[in-house]
Amino acid sequence: MKMILRWFPEGNDSVTLEQIRQIPGVSGVAACLIDIPVGDVWPLERLQAMKKEINDAGLEVEVIESVNIHEDIKKGLPTRDQYIENYIKTLENLSKIGIKCLCYNFMPVLDWARSELALPLEDGSYAMAYRHETVLKMNPNNMADVMQSQSLGYALPGWEPERLSVMQKDIEFYQSMSTETYWENMKYFLDAVIPYAEKYDIKMAIHPDDPPWPLYGLPKVISNAENIRKFLSLNDSPYNGLTLCTGSLGADLNNDIPAICREFSSQGRVHFAHIRNIKHLSEKDFNETAHLSECGDLDLFEIVKAFHDTDFNGYIRPDHGRMIWGEKARPGYGLYDRALGANYILGLWEAITKMKEGK
């Protein structure tokens, strides 16, 4: 297992590589080129420069999060083949800098949704939050305005400007698409890309829908164990796998997160894990919290033990942190709370290891 942190290069992050290097047990980062328009090829020269910057700071980069998928691929339009060709070329370029794992998602239009990015919590910290009725009352453009107004000027992954301009039109397109057609479009993408992922030795790791239920009539399919089984069956290659996000799947109270971790990790299909905690106020209302089990609804000991018991040897990162100690940063991606989360998870891992050794 390797513990890493998400980091945004080229001046797009308040957290520095030097700070990340000082977090005990963190060996590297998951990085991206956040300004590349969705569907374009990622230039090798910029990837090489990014890798050099990270390596020069004493860290490694083996994970990319994320290379987003163009909406035409999800829609199944004739233009999808050109965008898939570009995706494959990006995979080739990523392989040339030693990337081993690629986190991506197949969520239509909206990558993720929150009603608030800086909700004050009782302890004085600030966290992202979701209120279902509030989100339903927003139209997507209003939600985009709220997200951007609370982002402190940072670009929000999945809310790129080129998406926002056509968001409502894209949502209307999906109203006439069946869920089965969406699955077929996903399989088309996988069957085209996975052979090249195998060739370039890059594990493809799909991220669950966030939240894991339908919004605005959009299909949401990576949402529970049954649907994950169906997704993995679309292409049996071990390079077709998961980014198992405990917070995204944990938003649905019906999901048994330790059991899901255990099932798919034991199959070798979890390549990347995002570990975080959430606290429900009702069935579809929740706050993001500190990672500590008692702070939320998820039992992080059992989650980490599920990975440990199944000999997980992929990448883990502490997902969204709160803003604590007066920090101002990209929502979810400050330094302090994620550093605490990383070492909490590492502490659990070490304790479980020593329990098994009888120490």
Average pLDDT over residues 195-203: 98
Q: At residue 146, does pLDDT exceed 90?
A: no
Q: What is the pTM of this model?
A: 0.94
CB 247 within 8 A of CB 278: yes
Q: Is 104 a catalytic residue?
A: no
- Catalytic pick among 333, 336, 337, 344: 333
- Residue 174 or residue 142, greater confidence: 174
Assign 95 a pLDDT band (cuts: 50, 70, 90): very high
Q: What is the pLDDT of residue 165?
A: 64
- Catalytic pick among 13, 209, 319, 337: 319
- Percentage of the chain beyond pLDDT 70 is 97
- Catalytic pick among 245, 271, 315, 336: 245
Q: Is 132 a catalytic residue?
A: no
Domain span at 153 = 2-357
Assign 106 a pLDDT band (cuts: 50, 70, 90): very high
- Catalytic pick among 70, 132, 271, 274: 274
Assign 185 a pLDDT band (cuts: 50, 70, 90): very high
- Catalytic pick among 103, 320, 336, 344: 320
> Which range among 106-110, 225-229, 243-247, 291-295 shows the weakest confidence by mean pLDDT?
106-110
- Catalytic pick among 70, 132, 207, 308: 207
Q: At residue 272, does pLDDT exceed 80?
A: yes
Assign 111 a pLDDT band (cuts: 50, 70, 90): confident
Number of domains in the chain: 1
Q: At residue 138, does pLDDT exceed 90?
A: no
Q: Is 320 a catalytic residue?
A: yes
Q: Is 319 a catalytic residue?
A: yes
Assign 203 a pLDDT band (cuts: 50, 70, 90): very high
Q: What is the pLDDT of residue 155?
A: 77
Tokens of 235: 């292409």
In tens, the pLDDT along 157-167 reads 767 666 666 77
Average pLDDT over residues 13-23: 98
CA distance 185 to 134: 31
Q: What is the pLDDT of residue 110?
A: 83
Burial class (CB in 10 A: 0-12, 13-18, 19+), 176: exposed
- Mean pLDDT for all residues in the chain: 94
- CATH number of residue 322's parent domain: 3.20.20.150
Q: At residue 359, does pLDDT exceed 70?
A: no
